[in-house]
Amino acid sequence: MKFPLRIGLIGAGRIGQVHASTITTRVPQAELVAVADVVEAAAKSCAEAHRIATYGNDPHTIINDHDIQAVLICSSTDTHAPLIEAVANAGKHIFCEKPIALNLQQIDRALAAVEKAGVKLQIGFNRRFDANFKRVRDAVVNGEIGEPHIIHIISRDPAPPPIAYIKVSGGLFVDMAIHDFDMARYLIGSEIEEVFVQAAVRVDSAIGEAGDVDTAVTMLRFANGVIGTIDNSRQAVYGYDQRVEVFGSKGAINTLNNYANQVVINTAESVHRDLPLNFFMQRYTEAYAAEIEAFVDAIANNKPVPVSGYDGKMAVVVAMAAKKSWLERRPVRIEEIG
């Protein structure tokens, strides 16, 4: 293994640029040497902003570059699985944004290629790297609250995405709640066995017309007996709302939201503070950086990646079960999927 690690970036959209910035400014063990985007102007702009030597519109230039040791896949969802396969076949390590794919055959084929190539694959569940959620996980692992009995996740966006996005994203369970299914598995450290969903269109009827819901509560039953709920809304008018609570035999853990400042103002009308950090780019800045640092560290020190391809698959499987529960209005066992 040569250092600094030479990394290529496929997909120079918003999240691709975040990762480019992380590697350039915070990861001395790694170097971003090439960027590809189907929109060549995007690749060029990203290359210039982050002083990346090479750019272009063809990901295969990166895949075929023998000097590149690892690839970040930040392109559109439909390309994830084929790119994982191609990059794995080229013997490079892979960091891929979620979801791996929206169908299980594609996911399994991609994971098989990774397995066969013996490369590392890390999925971009950035929230696992957030200081709050890591602390909750630590508390659970350390037994600070004993055996966990119940988990609640609140995960609300400040505003819905464009309807056009909803039409292709797979819908709330796949594009949004998937993070929470992963978070639930991560925090509890056990597999989800059954889901039951109540959902509705409360925010925007156009979302319903696009075949999706904007408000959902998912109940979970885990293999280790823990019961969970996930609360999702496409629109919390007060801003991005990301909290969890884990209750156990020796106590409970609550996380509060994150705010840009810790200032409280008391006036004749109320005691108030500013709204929480508005959305994921502000809320999870550090988590995005930390996941890339962890990926490079896993390669550099030949450690297991902290979010595996299997984790990536299971979040999709649970999302599919949740969608099925909503459509069929009944509890769905995870083993019914796939």
- Asked if 36 touches a second copy (CB under 8 A), the answer is no
202 binds a second copy (CB under 8 A): yes
Binding status of residue 34 toward a second copy by CB under 8 A: no
Residue 206 sits in the site that holds a second copy (CB under 8 A)? no
The residue among 146 and 189 lying less far from a second copy, judged by its C-beta, is 146
Q: Closest separation between CB of residue 79 and a second copy, Å?
A: 30
Q: Is 75 in the site for a second copy (CB under 8 A)?
A: no
Please, where are the H alpha helices in 90-144? 104-117, 131-141
Q: Could you check whether the bond before residue 82 is cis, i.e. omega within 30 degrees of 0? A: no
230 contacts 181 by C-beta, under 8 angstroms = yes
- Interaction of residue 105 with a second copy, rule CB under 8 A: no
Interface residue with a second copy, options 251, 303, 310, 327 (CB under 8 A)? 251
Q: How far is the CB of 46 from a second copy (least distance, A)?
A: 14
Of the candidate residues 152, 208, 278, 337, the single one contacting a second copy (CB under 8 A)? 152
Residues in the interface with a second copy (CB under 8 A) total: 74
Stretch that binds a second copy, among 20-28, 53-61, 85-93, 308-316 (CB under 8 A): 20-28
Nearby residues of 265 by Cβ (< 8 Å), 6 or more positions away:
271, 272, 273
Q: What's the DSSP call for residue 260?
A: S
- Cβ distance to a second copy smaller for residue 200 or 327: 200
Phi and psi, residue 246, nearest 5°:
-120, 125
Q: Between 78 and 147, whose beta carbon lies closer to a second copy?
A: 147
CA–CA distance, 30 with 52 (Å, rounded to integer): 12
The sign of the torsion formed by the CA atoms of 7, 10, 12, 18 equals negative
Q: Is 193 exposed, middle or buried (0-12, 13-18, 19+ CB in 10 A)?
A: middle
Q: Which is nearer to a second copy, 76 or 254 (CB)?
A: 254
User: H-helix or E-strand containing 192?
Assistant: strand 192-200
Residues 275-314 close enough to bind a second copy by CB under 8 A: 275-276
Output 263-266 pairs: Cβ under 8 A, ≥24 positions apart: none
Give the nearer residue to a second copy in terms of CB position, either 67 or 269: 269
Helix (H) or strand (E) holding 259: none
